Structures are given as structure tokens and as C-alpha cells.
Amino acid sequence: MSDQVAAAVALALICGGLGLLVPALVAWIPEPEPTTTDDTVAEQDAPVAGGVDVAGEAEEPKEPYADIARLPGLVWKATLASAAAGALVGWSVGADWDLLPLAPVVPVSVALAVVDWRTRLLPTKVIAPTYLVTIALTLVTWVVTRETDDLVRAFWGWLLAGGIFFVLWFVHPRGLGYGDVRLAGVLGIALGHLGWGELLVGVYGGFLLGGVGGGLLSLLRVVERRAFPFGPFMLVAALVGVWVGEPVLDGLVTG
């Protein structure tokens, strides 16, 4: 068995096993605190009680995380998705220490995709620990490999991906949630640690998939045109970046 196949099988098993915990992770997320602009205003503006979209139309109440965790088939679907994504990552990266920071990100990304798809929220309670774990495992990888270039590139990935999304959020906060900014930072570290091609394709692909895919799903009335979740498109693009980022960049440079 080649190292590439071994890495794919190993990461599929690891991520698939962690994928079993996705419903428990979703159920663990605390509901957002009610927010108001005036103490005398009722909690009608809180995410759990509905809100107003960009056009000023009433939104549906946010689906409780506990209800999402109890969705029929979520356990096996999350496990299958995590295992498939893990296999693709393992196949693309090979038997390398670079897999260490990616292993926990895969099942967490599945959980975030499910939550964002159903609520249009990316909970800080999930992203913040993922930040810390990703940074810690990236540093552990550096301690083992002493690949300083990878560590520096991870920093640039965080700065560039997080910075781009922050600017977009700052300019048009109604068009992009701050959870997307936080997620971009995590993905920037993970993709940047792998390579510039992975970072370029992963970040740019998010906008491409979000624009084309979101527009198509809007036409099919699968999502709302003015308020579709962007996180799942970012995560799929990151996976594509891991898969084809290096050959795409090589093709651009040599072409």
C-alpha cells in the first residue's frame, strides 16, 4: 500500500470516527443571547426569535441547535461526509505531518456547514476553540518538522484570508457575517500551512462557489437570494484547494 493510500485510509477512519460526534457538538452549542437596541424592546430581534433580512422582511425564527442535532440521519451523514473529506485530504497531502492540523478541522467543518446551512450562523463557541487547536497543532508540526516556511505561510494565510473577509465585512456587514470572517482565519491558517496554491484556490474558490452556487440555488429556490449561508461554500472551496491547489498554481506559473 502506497503512503498516499495509507494516508487516505487513515484520515478517513480518524475523521469518520470524529464525525460520529458531530450531533453532540451541534447540541452543545449554546443558543445566541437575545440582542436588542433598546432595553424596552422585546426579544423579537434576537436570532432565536427571528429578525429582519436585508430587504426588511421578517425572517423565520432560528432553528434551535438541539433540534438540528436530532435531525434524522445526521449521525451517518456527518460520519460519511467527514470520512469522505478526510480521505480526499489524506490522498492529496499524503503521509505527512501536515495532516496533523487538518484532522480535527474536517469534522468540525462538517458541523459548521450543517449549522450555517440551517441557521445562517457560524457560532463563535465552535470557531474559537477550532482556532486554538489549529494554531496549536500547526506549532506542534513545526516543532517536529522545523519547516519554518510552512509556519510563516500559515501566518500569511491567516492574515490574507482573514484580512480580505474582514474588509468585506467592514464595508458591507449586511452582506457577510462576522462568523465568516472568523472561519476565513482558520481556513487561512490550515490552507496557508499547506501551500500558496491551496490558499489561493481555497479562498478564491469560496467567492466563486458562493457566487455561482448561491445564485443557482437561489434560482432553484433552495436558498433565499438575499440571505443564503456562505460558510458551506467556503468549506467546500477549502477542500477543493487542498485537492487541486498545488497543480492549479503550478499551471498558472508555468503557463
Measure the CA–CA gap between 58 and 45, rounded to whole angstroms: 10
pTM listed for this prediction: 0.87
Q: Distance between alpha carbon 224 and the CA centroid of its chain, in Å?
A: 20
Q: Identify the DSSP state of 99.
A: G
In this structure, what are the phi and psi dihedrals at residue 55, rounded to the nearest 5 degrees? -85, 0
Q: What is the pLDDT of residue 212?
A: 79
3-state SS, residue 108: helix
pLDDT at 2: 85
For the chain (255 residues), the mean pLDDT of every run of 10, in chain order, is: 90 97 97 60 36 48 93 97 98 95 96 95 96 97 97 97 95 88 97 97 91 71 68 96 92 82
Report pLDDT for 23.
97
- Predicted local distance difference test score (pLDDT) of residue 250: 86
Q: CB of 34 within 8 A of CB of 49? A: yes
CA distances from 40 to 36, 57, 174 (A): 9, 22, 24
Percentages of the chain per state (helix, strand, coil), in multiples of 5: 70, 0, 25
Give me the pLDDT at residue 156, please.
98
Predicted pLDDT at 251:
87
